[in-house]
Amino acid sequence: MGLLRTLLRPLGYVCFAVALLALKGTAVILGETHELGFFSGRLARMLSRYPELARPGIQIAWQVWAALLALALSPADPITSWWDEAALGTLALGALWGRLFGVRQAER
């Protein structure tokens, strides 16, 4: 059972990072006036305040992204078009957009 947990732990981290991103996306799409948007925004902000929760999932997600990009750029690429590289680049740009161009929060 310990070996199975060790093998599945990175998948759990990636699922957590995707779920946190989905909460943030729901808050943006629905807005603060909608009950679900308000709740998901508060939940996403609460979880983001604790980096010990979010950091491992985000690190593993970036490692999975780097491995997929390396596979997409390698000669053994299973998809022969350039769309997989474009999709991975767009995904990275979307993830970095808020950090690069987002509104900075004031220090507490």
pLDDT tens digit sequence for 48-84: 888 777 788 778 878 887 888 888 777 777 777 778 7
Phi, psi of 12 (to 5 degrees): -65, -40
Indicate the number of domains in the chain: 1
- Asked, for residue 11, whether it belongs to a domain, the answer is yes
Residue 55 placed within a domain = yes
The pLDDT value given to residue 102 = 66
Answer yes or no: is pLDDT of 103 > 60. no
Neighbouring residues of 80: CB distance < 8 A, sequence distance ≥ 6: none
Q: Which helix (H) or strand (E) holds 22?
A: helix 2-30
Query: What domain range is 36 assigned to?
Result: 2-97
Task: List the end-to-end C-alpha distance of the chain, in Å, as a whole number.
Answer: 43
CB neighbour burial string for 61-96, b if at least 16 within 10 angstroms, e if fewer = beeeeeeebeebeeeeeeeeeeebeeebeeeeeeee
**Strand segments (E) across 33-103:** none
Token readout for 107 is 């220090």
Assigned token pair, 90: 């767009």
* Domain presence at residue 45: yes
In a domain, 103, yes or no: no
pTM of the complete model: 0.61
Decide if 108 is inside a domain: no
